[in-house]
Chain A
Amino acid sequence: MSALSLGASRTRPAPAPRRGARARRIRAALAFYGFISPWLVGTILLTAFPVGYAVYISFTDWNGMTSFMPWVGLDNYRQVLTSSDTLSALSKTLVLAAIIVPVSILGSLALAVLLNKRMHGRTVMRTLIYLPAVVPPVAAALIWKVIFDKNSGAANRILALLHLNAVSWLTGQMAFVAMIIVLVWAIGSGIIINLAALQTVPAEQLEAAKMDGAGPLTTFRHVTLPAISPILLFQTVLVTITTLQTFIPAILLSPISDSSVVTNIQPANDVYMVDVYEQYFDYSRYGLGSAMIVVFFVVILALTALIFKFLGRSVFYAVDPTEGRS
C-alpha cells in the first residue's frame, strides 16, 4: 500500500473552471448512484418492499391462499402480545440470548487474547477453535444429534464413565441445554475478528503501560480493552441478532424428524422463530405470523438500542475511522 501512495503524485488536481463545478457535482452524484444502484434497487425490492408488505399483512387475517385479505386492524398484535404461547417463546428466546451472548463474546475474546501470545502450535489451535464457525448450522445440529442420542450417543457414554445416569438429552427440559451446547460449540467464531482487532492495539501504548509498572490485567483493562471496544460492541450486536433468530438447532435436534416443519419440536426448544414458522406453515395464519415478525423486529431494534446505550458509553473511539491512524 505504501508503495502505491509513493507512486501517486503529490500535486493537487488543478482547480477546475467555475462553470464546470455544477456539472462536475452532478457527474459525481451520478457516479455515486451508479455504483450503489445494484444494492439500492435490491434493497428497495427485496428488503423495503417485503418489510412494508409484511406490515400490511399483519393487519389482515390472510391465510396465504385467497386473493382477499380481510382487514382485522390490530387484532393480530393484540393476540401476539396476550398469547401466553408467544410470550413464553419470546422469553425463552431472550433467556437463550442472555446465556449465549455473554458466553460467546467473552469466550471468544478470552480465546483470542490467549491466541495472541506467541507459542507453539498457535496457528493449528486457532484453526481448530475457529472450525465450528465454518460448519453449516444443519451439520452442526446433526453432529450433536448423533452425540446426544439417548442410547448410542457419546454424551451418555461419558456420563456412564462418570457413573452417572443416562440423560434423555433431546427431550424435555434437557433439549434446551442441548441447544445451548450446540450454540456454544461455535464459541470461536469471533476469534478471527478479535485477533485482527488485537493486532491494531498500538504497541507503544502497551510498552508505555509496562514501563509504568502496570500488570497484564491493568494493561488489558486500560489499554487493550478500550482499543478493541468498538469491535466488541459490533460483535455483541451481531451475535444478539443471530441468537434471537435461532431456528435450525431447535428443529433439527428433535429426536424424530418430520417433513412438516415443526410438529415434533420439543416444547423446551419452542423458541420464537419456531413459533413464527408454526403460524405460517402449520396453521397458514399469515396475518398473525407477520404481526409476530413485526413485533420481533421491534424487540430486536429495542435490544440493539439498549446495547448501544449501555455498552456504547464505554466504547472508545481513538480516531475517526475515515481518517488515517496516527
Chain B
Amino acid sequence: MSVHEISAETAAAPTPEQPQAPAGPRPGPIRRRRERHPVAFVVLVVASVLITLPFVELLINALTPSSDIGADRWLPSAFRWANFTDALHYIPYLSLARNSLVLSSLFGVLTTFSSALTGYGFARLHGPGKKILFGVLVMTMMVPPIVTLIPTYLLFSLYNLVGTYWPWVFWGAAGTPYTIFLYRQFFSSLPKELEEAAILDGAGRIRIFCQIFLPLSRPLLVTAFVLAFNAVWGDFIGPDLFLNSSNTTLAVGISSGYDNTAGYPVYNLLAAGALLYIVPVVVLFLFAQRSYVRGFASSGLK
C-alpha cells in the first residue's frame, strides 16, 4: 500500500497521528491498509450494473428510430438523436420544464428557510407547550399527503387559488416536517456556548440565527433544498390536482403526453422525454452530492 493512501486514511481517523507512523505496532492497532474485500466488491459491482441497466435501456430507446420500434434487437439500426428535439416538440416541453423549475425552486427555497427557522426554535428556544408541539410535528410526518390533499383543494378553491402557484408558496412557508426534524437534530448538537456569548454581546435571536446557526448548517441547507426541489419536480398528484394544462409541470406533461391518438405510448419519444426530465435532478444531485451526504451525516439522525 502506498504512503499516500496510509496518510489519507490517518487523516480521516478520529485521533491524529503522525502520518509516517507505521501501521500495526501501537496498542489497539487500527487497520490502516486498504483491505481487499473481493466478495463485497463483486456484489457491489453486480448491484451497480443491475441498477444502472434500466438507464442504459432508456437511453437506447430514446435513440431508436420509429422504424425500429418493436423490432427484436438490442441496439437500433441507427442512433436517431433527433428524437430529443422531437420529444421537445411533441408536448410543450420547454414551457412545462419552466413551470417545473419555477415551482420546484420557489418551494425549495421557502421550505428550506422555514424548516430551518422551526428546527432552530425546537432545538434552541423554550416555551410552554414545546413538548406537545414537537409531538405534533412527529405526528404530521405520519399523515399521508392524500389525507390533507383533497380537503386542502377545497380550501384553496374557496379562495380561488386553485390553478395558481400560491398553494406551493403556502406549503413551502409551512416547512416540511422531515426537514424540520433534521434541522432540529443538527441544531441540538451544537454547543451551548455558541449563543451564550452572542447573547452577552447583546445580539438578538434573529441575528444569532442568521449569522451563527444558519451558516453552520450549510450542508443541511443543501440537503433540504435538494430534497424539496426533487419532491416538487417529481410530484405528480399535486400539479395534476391543483394546476391546469396551461401551467402544469413536466411530471404531469410527460405522464400521458407521449401517447398517440389510439392512447398507446410512442416509446422512443417517451423515453427521450423521460430522459430529459431526469437529467436536471440527477445533475443537481451530482453537484450537491458531497454536501448532501454531509447534511445527513451532520444531523446525527436519531
Contacts and interface: CB of A to CB of B under 8 A. Distances in A.
Contact of B45 (A43, A125, A144): A125
B63 interface: no
Nearest to B136: A43
Interface of A is mostly: helix
B121 A46 contact: no
A142 B9 CA distance: 43
Number of chain B interface residues as a range: 35 or more
B118 interface: yes
B147 A28 contact: no
A197 B301 contact: yes
A290 B146 CA distance: 10
B302 A146 contact: no
B58 interface: yes
A196 B290 CA distance: 12
Interface in B216-268: 216, 230, 233-234, 236-237, 240, 251, 254-256, 259, 263-265, 267
B234 A300 contact: no
Number of chain A interface residues as a range: 35 or more
B86 interface: no
Nearest to B255: A138
Given A1-B190, A5-B191, A125-B45, A134 B230 contact: yes
A96 to B, nearest CB: 15
B302 to A, nearest CB: 4
A47 B141 CA distance: 11
Interface string A1-20: 10011011110110000000
B259 A119 contact: no
Given A13-B200, A132-B51, A138-B234, A143 B292 contact: no
A245 interface: yes
Contacts of B302: 230-231, 234, 317, 321
B125 A31 contact: yes
Interface string A139-162: 100111111010110100100100
5 contacts: A9-B197, A35-B125, A41-B174, A50-B148, A293-B144
Given A49-B151, A142-B255, A234-B301, 5 more contacts: A5-B191, A35-B120, A111-B44, A134-B282, A257-B263
